[in-house]
Chains A and B, each alone.
Chain A
């Protein structure tokens, strides 16, 4: 399911809403999660899961072509932990 299919399914389930409002709802939700994570916040959606940011420390990497050692700077990566209910639903 893509974002546009998600919008379509929601629009079908909510015929009283304008398609462009459904689009804005979906866009707002994912934009807000992104903004929160970019600001270092966590997003916890009980039953669904929690988004957080983890730090990866700097390390010495290697250029695979030349074998030369290069420093890889520390970086932050988004992380998602599946909620209990969703985990059970997947295995239900």
Chain B
């Protein structure tokens, strides 16, 4: 448990080390992967990445919320939320039960 935060920079560097492309092209491709995943989700597709997990979009209905400071009732409009379901492989890796 080192508690670091990994960002685009380190992921881009890993892609660069792994594949024989330039640093800038590696960074562009990482961005392109994220864009393709986001676009598919925005179209309502489920994105399933084997041994990692799946991302799906769920529709939430309208409900009455409350402003916690004033106690005032405010409607929470219907909206779409993204749900990530980790695969068993990922869950096992995180609990160090091998790959």
Contact present for A9 and B6 (CB under 8 Å)? no
Q: Tell me the complex Cα distance, A46–B8, Å.
A: 8
Q: Point out the residues of chain B lying under 8 angstroms from A22, CB to CB.
A: 29
Interface size range of chain B in the complex: 35 or more
Instruction: Determine how close the nearest CB of chain A comes to the CB of B21; give it in whole angstroms.
Output: 7
The number of inter-chain residue pairs (CB within 8 angstroms) is 142
Contact present for A78 and B91 (CB under 8 Å)? yes
Contact present for B7 and A40 (CB under 8 Å)? no
Per the 8 Å Cβ criterion, residues 3-27 of B in contact with A are 3-8, 10-11, 14-15, 18-21, 26
Contact present for A1 and B94 (CB under 8 Å)? no
Smallest Cβ-Cβ distance to A27: which chain B residue: B18
A75 at the interface (CB under 8 A from B): yes
Contact present for B32 and A80 (CB under 8 Å)? no
Residue-wise, chain B 18-49 has the 8 Å CB interface mask toward A (1 for contact) of 11110000100110111011101110011111
B62 at the interface (CB under 8 A from A): no
Interface size, chain A (Cβ < 8 Å): 48
B67 at the interface (CB under 8 A from A): no
Q: Most chain-A Cβ atoms within 10 A of its Cβ — which of B10, B19, B26, B79?
A: B19
User: In the complex where A34-B52, A37-B94, A39-B1 touch, is A14 in contact with B11 (Cβ < 8 A)?
Assistant: no
Q: List 16 A-B contacts (CB under 8 A).
A: A2-B49, A6-B37, A6-B40, A6-B49, A10-B29, A30-B51, A34-B90, A45-B11, A49-B82, A53-B94, A78-B94, A80-B82, A87-B82, A89-B38, A90-B57, A91-B79
Knowing that A29-B11, A30-B49, A33-B11 touch, tell me 16 more A-B residue pairs with CB under 8 angstroms.
Answer: A1-B36, A3-B50, A13-B32, A14-B32, A28-B19, A32-B11, A32-B14, A36-B6, A39-B2, A44-B6, A44-B7, A46-B8, A48-B34, A78-B84, A78-B90, A82-B82
